[in-house]
Amino acid sequence: MWDASAVSEPARTYNQAHAPRPYEKGRRRVSIYISWSYPAEANRDLTQMDNRFSTMTEVRRVAWPAYEQPRFADPLQFQQGIAGALELFFWAWLPFQKLVHEVTGSPPPVFQRIDQAGFALPLDERVLDDCDTLFLFGLDHNVTGQSPSQAEIETLRAFMKREGARLVIGPHHDVGRTSDMAQRTVEHAHHGDELVPRQQRFGQYALKLLQALDVPVENQWALRPATLPGEGPAKPVPLQIDRDLDTRGWLEGVDSFNFHMHMPHYALTRDDGTALALARQPIDVSRPHPFIEAGGTAFNTLVWAPPRGARAGDVLVVDSTVFSSLFGADASLERFWKNVAGGA
């Protein structure tokens, strides 16, 4: 479990306009865009069991006693509803933001499609004009109806026509898409996370952008990685990496990501070379799942769509969990962060 006390805490700012960064040769400008509507997520009806994030109280109960210090447990210090759980995402991205700052020389701004105060920020030139690498975290529940407008799609296409542009995008997992309750039960028993409802479908916004860019990837399932034996925090078995395909070195010096109980399989919907599965994560096959029954032993965890046609930039499809320290970060993961955030 992530240790919040390990993160240094400088003075925090909020409620200010983004100051655009000038271009500097050799330094990439990195931005993070979260495709959710924070109010739509935080205000979900708690009597609805599916398609919502947990409340902070639910997190504390399941993860007990990890968050029983007053900082998280005292309602006078930390929000106890869904909003509190959402704030854990921001906490856990801090080490990644810090590393990006060290690598690039500037801190990455974090944008939300609709933020806590209700300010809407579509994916437009205000986000992309001073950006070279965009991390787009697809954490919007489908039921909240986030969908890119045609103007957003055209702005992203224009961004991707720039030489050296880079989009790192990850629609999150897709749990329980079937109406078959027995299958939903099997899916839940496979990943084993009591904080995940029996149906939790994510990624509509990111998927539509991938379709608009003609990147043939779809998020499927929520699969539990196989882990190495031993005590202490779970560590996934090494990735199956196709290093011959990785001609850009995205995975140079990398052998594994962090452990998360429910990761999406990024299925290739076409096999024409448009997108390449660079890394596959072995699955915990001791826990039954329809994907395993169909013969799957590993899922695609990193897909690369190299420049193609009018698109001069690279697209990397990888889940936002990989950039979160909520479930740990080691030298291998940090090397991946540097590979993707840095470079020319």
Residue 329's pLDDT band (cuts 50, 70, 90): confident
Residue 183's pLDDT band (cuts 50, 70, 90): very high
Rounded average pLDDT over 278-302: 98
Q: Which fold has domain 26-43+92-341?
A: Rossmann fold (3.40.50)
pLDDT score, position 1: 45
Residue 259 structure tokens: 């452990």
3-state DSSP: the chain helix, strand, coil percent, rounded to 5? 30, 20, 50
pLDDT score, position 2: 43
| Average pLDDT of the chain to the nearest whole number | 95
Q: What residues does 255 pair with on adjacent strands? A: none
CA distance 277 to 215: 12
Rounded average pLDDT over 32-60: 98
Rounded average pLDDT over 185-193: 98
Sole residue written with tokens 């409620």: 15
Lowest mean pLDDT among 29-33, 130-134, 289-293, 322-326: 322-326
- 138, 202 Cβ separation under 8 angstroms: yes
**pTM given for the model:** 0.96
pLDDT value at 5 more than 70: no
CA distance 109 to 134: 10
